[in-house]
A = this chain, B = another copy of it.
Amino acid sequence: MNADPIALAEAHWVDHGWGEAAPGMRLVTTITRVQQLLHQSIDELLRPDLTFARYEILMLLVFSKRGALPMSVIGSRLQVHAASVTSAVDRLERDGYVTRERGEGDRRQVLARITSAGRRRALAATEILNQEVFEDVGLPAAAAGRLTTSLDRMREHRGETLDA
Instruction: Kindly state the interface size class of chain A when it binds its partner.
Output: 35 or more
In the complex, chain A residues 19-59 whose Cβ is within 8 Å of any chain B Cβ: 20-39, 41-42, 52, 56, 59
Pair B33/A130 contact, Cβ less than 8 Å: no
A12 in contact (CB, < 8 A): yes
Checking B23, B29, B154 against A34 with a beta-carbon cut-off of 8 angstroms, the contacting residue is: B154
The residues of B that contact A134 with a CB separation of less than 8 Å are 18, 21-22, 24-25, 28
Q: With CB as the reference atom, state the residue of chain B lying closest to A16.
A: B126
Report the Cα distance A148→B163, complex, angstroms: 26
Q: CA A80 – CA B37 in complex, angstroms?
A: 10
Give this chain's copy count.
2
A154, B130: Cβ atoms closer than 8 Å: no
Q: Which residues of B contact A4 (CB under 8 A)?
A: 152, 162-163
Interface locus among A92-100, A111-119, A135-143: A135-143
Counting CB contacts under 8 A, is A5 at the interface? yes
User: Which of B29, B79, B129, B145 touches A33 (beta carbons < 8 Å)?
Assistant: B79
Chain B: minimal CB distance from A12 (Å): 5
- Where the two chains meet, the residues of A that have a C-beta atom closer than 8 Å to any C-beta of B are 1-5, 7-9, 12, 18, 20-39, 41-42, 52, 56, 59-60, 63, 77-80, 126, 129-131, 133-139, 141, 143-148, 150-164
Q: Which 4 A-B residue pairings sit nearest by Cβ, starting from the closest?
A: A138-B157, A24-B134, A21-B130, A21-B134
